[in-house]
Amino acid sequence: MAGGREQPVTLDAVTEFIENLFETKDNPRFREESGLTVHGRETVKTVGYCTNLTLAAVAEAVKNDIDLMITHHDAWDFIFGLKEACQEKLKAHGISHYFNHLPLDDCDFGTNSTLMAELGADIIARTNESD
């Protein structure tokens, strides 16, 4: 999947690649922390990435003809109606959405490990795999 691929791939292939990379498929630990929230077009030619799914991010995706939005965070539940509004707009434009929160934070090349390495930590160890 890596590299400057010019040809489209299927949404299923992208989803499978991410699930294999982060070992999230059928992993109950990550069920609420990653996954496809909107299934849009079957073919993916363009991918957009941002940290948080917001209406502004969705508007940029629409403007740039994005097929798949990948975000670190899903739309926030604590902002009433945001998740539903984002999903409705994505669906209306055939844009898929995949978010990857805890798996990206927790993986060997993710947020936490990278931060510790940049801070010069001698030992990086996970102390609680179940959280």
Q: Within a domain: residue 110?
A: no
Per run of 10 residues, the mean pLDDT along the chain (length 131 residues) is 70 93 79 89 96 96 97 87 96 96 72 78 61 48
Q: Is residue 108 part of a domain?
A: no
How far is it, in rounded angstroms, from Cα 113 to Cα 108? 6
How much is the pLDDT for 25?
Answer: 82
Q: Is 129 a domain residue?
A: no
pTM above 0.85, yes or no: no
What is the model's pLDDT at position 119?
81
In which domain, by residue range, is 95 found?
9-101
Is 118 domain-assigned? no
> What CATH number has the domain bearing residue 50?
3.40.1390.30
Report the chain's terminal Cα–Cα distance, integer Å: 30
